[in-house]
A and B are shown apart, each in its own frame.
Chain A
């Protein structure tokens, strides 16, 4: 087991190096001379340009530049300097990443909180109107892109005033007590989390339904029924536990998808996450920040897949991992 995890982690390293090389290449292909852009910006002092020049070898050939970028990244966690925010890229990204992870994890709670019960409901009432209605809804839902569902919820928030129309905190955040702060955060989090969490919902629900239907056909369930257990115990104590297993392992994959899915929701609800930072960085031509955030988002995706693989190996003893 340990060798399996170690090997998977080691496999992820060349992938991340490749991603960093690709983003670096994109940076080089982007129009505009980098040093000139910096020099024209009155907000950047001559000293900090000089510091950047020596640290990242900006007047040297591209392969030296990439080598220096990688070296600074690996040994000092130094992603370079954000020109528009006058901060190290890492500091900007850290906060954005935390906000995005908060959104993604809340979204995952929404997904699983709805998908598991609805999937179970559809399975135990197979072919009834509940089942058919849910699968029709799932199908329709698959056709509503998050841009639309986000704007619809924003419309709802603006019309009713029940939810804030954006941002992460209310104006009087600092004067609130800890409980008030938590509630305020939840209030702001609710709609974006709903938008993001609904993306994988239909798929996960169908999966839960199919898994449970498979398990309900197994012999041990028939045995449990034959022993005279009531249906509730059979389903919830015996069947659901086994049926839910694949869904747990999918958690890692979905987390990566949710980080990507948060992008649009962050823009619509002005959530200060990684997606917003990336878009702002692109619009202000803050290239080190663009690169850093793409890299950061990829790390989350790769890590999510890694966790999924490991969970799969842990949960299913039939998978040989060495």
Chain B
């Protein structure tokens, strides 16, 4: 799972011997007969909507990325704020009916007192209800260029609410999870953008040019693919100084993951290009005197698009997990900045695992849900973009 080089099998390509009107997969789809009037995107959307799992995955991802975008607003506290009275505080339990039988529609929590410092044990004070409020004034932050101090929810000072508990430094786990998602979720997208651009270009060049360019690029991919993923990751991390500021760490992680990730894709794209370039419309483009770059970028690579979209969706979790593993090993995002990986690494000690399990389950669930959502979406996209399915409903 952590290997960013995993690439799914390429789809069946259009036959190399084709009719003069054939322009690749797009026309194969419309050759289906009944669906001839639909655009490829319309077709895709119709197929995609049919799969509830894929739609659910996509919706879940929109929610997750929305949360990451609005993290400063949704998080009740900042990611670095330490509560010196409540280390390892367990998650607050939400309640709706208080001691006097009154119903609180927004729910409330009980305040807690520390009873055992060494074991971080807290007991609830059942007599008082501390209601949750919406749009509470709190720590100021900047969002979309605006200075704001309202948070989505919270409780009145001096009380605090920790829906996912606090960590050993007394920081709110929920807030750290939300701020951490800004790093962990975007690493995947940025990494994919870089490595897929590289993979497409180099794979395209390799397949189209052949000769020594092909040989050099393919030998390089073989080299990269022959070093076990995590070992390569670690060795590459060694190039960068250990104590970088967090923004540069982010950048270095993205660069490392992209450097590792392009090889697998380039090999598949090369294979596809080798088959596409033998088609007549490419010969026609060559005869018209188009430049090689233009032919590759305008006529060959678009035909690999549906495969690339699916491969990218499936590959994103690998990049996210790459950051998680690096930060987990202490080589990635450093404290006090939060990322899902360094939150997990806090849960490594036996004491934290047994006594404060929310430290494991909060980031763990977030990672699991994200990866699952990408896998669902990727599966749905693969079905929706599979030209064979449109032709006769026959899928492998």
Interface residues of A (CB under 8 A from B): 15, 18-19, 22-23, 26-27, 29-31, 139-140, 142-148, 151-152, 154-155, 158-159, 165, 199, 256-257, 259-261, 263-264, 267-268, 275, 278-279, 282-283, 287, 290-291, 293-294, 297-298, 300-302, 305
Contacts and interface: CB of A to CB of B under 8 A. Distances in A.
B249 to A, nearest CB: 14
Interface centre among A147, A260, A287 (most CB of B within 10 A): A147
Contacts of A300: 228
A262 to B, nearest CB: 9
Nearest to B350: A158
B367 interface: yes
Interface centre among A139, A158, A268, A293 (most CB of B within 10 A): A158
Contacts of A19: 223, 226-227
Given A139-B375, A145-B1, A297 B231 contact: yes
B48 interface: no
Interface string B315-326: 001000100110
Given A31-B241, A151-B344, A290-B234, 9 more contacts: A146-B2, A147-B325, A151-B360, A155-B360, A158-B350, A257-B3, A278-B231, A282-B235, A297-B227
25 contacts: A15-B226, A18-B219, A26-B236, A27-B238, A29-B239, A146-B1, A147-B325, A147-B328, A148-B364, A148-B368, A151-B347, A152-B360, A155-B360, A159-B354, A199-B1, A257-B3, A260-B229, A260-B230, A263-B228, A263-B230, A263-B231, A264-B325, A279-B234, A294-B235, A301-B228
Given A22-B223, A147-B321, A264-B230, A155 B375 contact: no
Tell me the dominant secondary structure on chain A's binding face: helix
A259 B228 CA distance: 8
Contacts of B354: 155, 158-159
A302 B241 contact: no
Tell me the dominant secondary structure on chain B's binding face: helix
Contacts, number: 134
Nearest to A159: B354
Given A23-B235, A142-B375, A15 B222 contact: yes
Interface of B: 1-3, 219, 222-223, 226-232, 234-242, 317, 321, 324-325, 328-331, 341, 344, 347-348, 350, 353-354, 357, 360, 364, 367-368, 371-372, 375
Contact of A301 (B226, B235, B236): B226
Contacts of B350: 154, 158, 165
A147 B2 CA distance: 9
A279 B337 CA distance: 22
B231 A282 contact: no
